Structure 1
Amino acid sequence: MILASKSPRRKEILNQLGFQLEIKVKDVEEVSSKIELTDKIKDISYKKVVEVAKENRTSFVVGADTLVEINGEVLGKPNDETEAREMLKKLSGKEHRVITAYTLINLEKNINISEAVESKVFFKTISNDEIDWYIESREPMDKAGAYGIQGLGAIFVDKIEGDFFSIMGFPINHFVKTLKKLGIDIKDIQKI
């Protein structure tokens, strides 16, 4: 299977289950004209995957995209430390949504699926010292919303409602259910 993503988290999640992955990515502008956030993130996920699938028509190609939303504002990856600090302050003491969309395409088999999984994350109130410490770790710099739930950012999370792995970047449970609907059993995943 081809993973159309450079995300080490997505690769790790899929590898843990036994997927044999080849990484291939295309530069795609991450924009969408869709209105609803869920549709927007599914569209961006699709665009990333379809470009790789066009050059690998017989392969299963999977990819994903994640966004963090609070009070109608989408928080992408921070461009610098100042932006990371602003994002973490916005999330401090509040609830936000994390939506991860994944796309699975195999052009030869006429498979084209895009799904989205939404979860809620509740942050504790974060002190300025904690924000400084976290930014110094460099962890927030390549993550939507400026935090990683699977790393040091876990200390900010009071609770979640939803799928941990979706918040991490790939809803593996949901994905395996999708494969099962396609007739691909868990024991066969190394073959795709």
Structure 2
Amino acid sequence: MSNLILASASPRRQALLSQLGTPFTVLPADIDERHDDGEVPRDYVMRMSRTKAEHVAQQYPDAWVLGADTIVTIDGRILGKPKDAADAAAMLSSLSGQVHDVMTGLALVQHDQGYMALETVSTRIYFHTLSDADISTYIAAKKPFDKAGAYAIQDQEGVLVDRYEGCYTNVVGLPLQRTAAMLRCAGLNLGGA
């Protein structure tokens, strides 16, 4: 097992982290991801990323564990992963023609040293106005059921997103610049960086 563990099952997050050139092991944290009543989005993503990292770090106390959680938030509401096509359509309809934020919480934990670093990264997204046909076609073609907000910026080819402000890889699931900075700050070597 490598000295770095990614506490996530997300294939997009795994692909992004591999770009940093640091070997890592994937051990998803099986935790309850419901948000608490009245919990604001930033607090939620921080709690989720920290809980994921701590859950795995307790099992591997000498390893560095990276936890991350990404949400879509609009008007203070959290849009998680849709349950079905109708839920996905409702999410995409609520985002249509609107501005929303994609927020990722990051937690780097090393249990034996009592180390914990926490960050949040937010990217502003401007959505095109979508017709019902646009939404149906996207849902049928892209299968958005494992994606917060029912979409993925990397596979929408300009259909949904007009533009964004901030970190592109954050919207995909892992803000690479911030993640690299966290790992370097903890003394972890990045391949080629």
- Write the distance in 2 (CA, Å) between the matches of 1:119 and 1:48: 22
1:175 aligns with 2:179: yes
Cα drift, residue 143 of structure 1: 0.4
1:52 aligns with 2:22: no
- Write the distance in 1 (CA, Å) between the matches of 2:127 and 2:157: 10
For residue 11 of structure 1, the aligned residue among 11, 14, 24 is: 14
In structure 2, the CA distance between the partners of 1:161 and 1:101, relative to structure 1 (3 Å rule), is same
In structure 2, the CA distance between the partners of 1:158 and 1:164, relative to structure 1 (3 Å rule), is same
- What letter matches 2:16 in structure 1? I
Q: Percent identity?
A: 35
For residue 104 of structure 2, the aligned residue among 87, 100, 106 is: 100
For residue 117 of structure 2, the aligned residue among 113, 120, 131 is: 113
* Runs of 4+ that moved beyond 6 A: none
| RMSD (Å), alpha carbons | 1.8
The normalised TM-score by structure 2 is 0.90
1:30 aligns with 2:36: no
- Unaligned runs of at least 5 residues, structure 1: none
Cα drift, residue 154 of structure 1: 4.4
175-184 vs 42-51, greater mean Cα deviation: 175-184
Cα drift, residue 112 of structure 1: 0.9
For residue 64 of structure 1, the aligned residue among 62, 68, 71 is: 68
115-124 vs 147-156, greater mean Cα deviation: 147-156
2:47 counterpart SS class: helix
2:52 counterpart SS class: helix
Cα drift, residue 187 of structure 1: 4.0
- Write the distance in 1 (CA, Å) between the matches of 2:100 and 2:144: 16
Cα drift, residue 51 of structure 1: 0.8
- Write the distance in 1 (CA, Å) between the matches of 2:142 and 2:159: 15
The number of aligned residues is: 189
